[in-house]
């Protein structure tokens, strides 16, 4: 039996003006942006629709902006009646998946990721941490490299295992620099420094995890109505208590995206619908398994195209 997964993008997919046209045409879509403004007591919607880009790119703005946009697009898309068998999100996108699965209310999700962004920004002094994408080297030799560098006193670890041949490392600035050089010696084709504000998904994020727990403890979390494939384990989870623990671990643990996609495929998923701005996850999924179908929904036109395509397949 054919199964569908909804997947939600993380930081890097944001763009000024995302979902603006959709929100202007559909009041029910605009309502999400209004709710986000109210929950955060700020003009997030104006920042999303008008920019400036530099401000939207700040982690504590990007995270609620992407969650709001993706959930607004999801709500519009779901009027078609198309439902998911599984949901998952890349890093920040996991919170969007949790809102989609009814674990967190929309307003609490927006609040949680705003605080998460603030804690991530402040966990490590600016300039002391960094991230880099390592292309063309498998995880096992890269694990050896990061362990060597960390044991030498410069913490660095695998942060995002995105797809075959694309792994992001994260940690101290010196650690990432040394690991990048060693990765090239070990056979990596390229090492690309990332323009991020901190060493996300590394051990240096542990101070942020303690602060995030205090925020999540104050929010109501329900069991998931749709299984959520967790970044930390690449396994489906549904119980609220398990989900909270995994969200805390997620801050300082690698995002097992390749493993998560493979797990969903093993469970029967053959259609992945990326909901939110951009097509980053669709591209990664195609590199993981060319045989599955991927779709991207970011506006009214793409939503209708995907609805039509899926309906044709069901005939």
The residues annotated as belonging to the active site are 91, 201
DSSP calls for 116-178:
HHHHHHHHS-TTSEEEEEEES--HHHHHHHHHHHHHTT--EEEEEEEETTEEEEEEEHHHHHH
Query: How many angstroms separate the CA atoms of 162 and 80, rounded?
Result: 30
DSSP calls for the chain:
--EEEEEE--TT---TTTTHHHHHH-HHHHHHHHHHHHHHTS-HHHHHHH--HHHHTSHHHHHHHHHHHHHHHHHHHGGG----SEEEESTTHHHHHHHHTTSS-HHHHHHHHHHHHHHHHHHS-TTSEEEEEEES--HHHHHHHHHHHHHTT--EEEEEEEETTEEEEEEEHHHHHHHHHHHHHTT-SEEEE---SS-TTSGGGHHHHHHHHHHHHTS-----SS-EE-TTTSSEE--HHHHHHHHHHHHHS-B-HHHHHHHHHHTTEEEEEEESSSSHHHHHHHHH-TTSEEEEE-SHHHHHHHHHHHHHHH-
Place of tokens 């966990």: 123
């Amino acid at each position: 039996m054919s199964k569908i997964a909804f997947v939600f993008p993380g930081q890097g997919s944001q763009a000024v003006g995302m979902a603006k046209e959709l929100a202007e045409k559909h009041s029910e879509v605009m309502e999400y942006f209004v709710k986000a403004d109210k929950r955060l007591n700020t003009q997030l919607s104006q920042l999303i629709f008008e920019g400036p880009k530099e401000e939207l790119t700040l982690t504590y703005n990007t995270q609620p902006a992407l969650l709001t946009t993706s959930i607004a697009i999801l709500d519009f898309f779901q009027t078609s009646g198309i439902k998911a068998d599984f949901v998952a999100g890349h890093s920040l996108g996991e919170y969007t998946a949790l809102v989609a699965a009814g674990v967190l209310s929309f307003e609490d999700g927006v609040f949680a990721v705003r605080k998460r962004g603030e804690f991530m920004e402040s966990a490590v002094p600016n300039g002391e941490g960094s991230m880099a994408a390592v292309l063309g080297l498998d995880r096992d030799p890269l694990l050896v490299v990061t362990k060597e560098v960390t044991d030498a006193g410069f913490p660095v670890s695998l942060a995002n295992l995105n797809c075959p041949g694309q792994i992001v490392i994260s940690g101290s600035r010196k650690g990432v620099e040394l690991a990048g050089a060693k990765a090239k010696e070990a056979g990596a084709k390229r090492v690309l420094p990332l323009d991020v504000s901190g060493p996300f998904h590394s051990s240096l994020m542990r101070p942020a995890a303690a602060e995030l727990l205090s925020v999540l403890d104050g929010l109501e979390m329900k069991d998931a109505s749709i299984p959520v494939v967790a970044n930390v384990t690449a396994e489906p989870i549904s119980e609220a208590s398990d989900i909270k623990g995994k969200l805390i671990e997620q801050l300082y643990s690698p995002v097992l995206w390749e493993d998560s996609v493979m797990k969903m495929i093993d469970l029967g998923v053959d259609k992945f619908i990326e909901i939110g701005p951009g097509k980053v996850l669709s591209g990664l999924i195609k590199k993981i398994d060319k045989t599955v179908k991927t779709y991207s929904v970011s506006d009214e036109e793409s939503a209708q195209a995907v609805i039509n395509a899926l309906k044709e397949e069901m005939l």
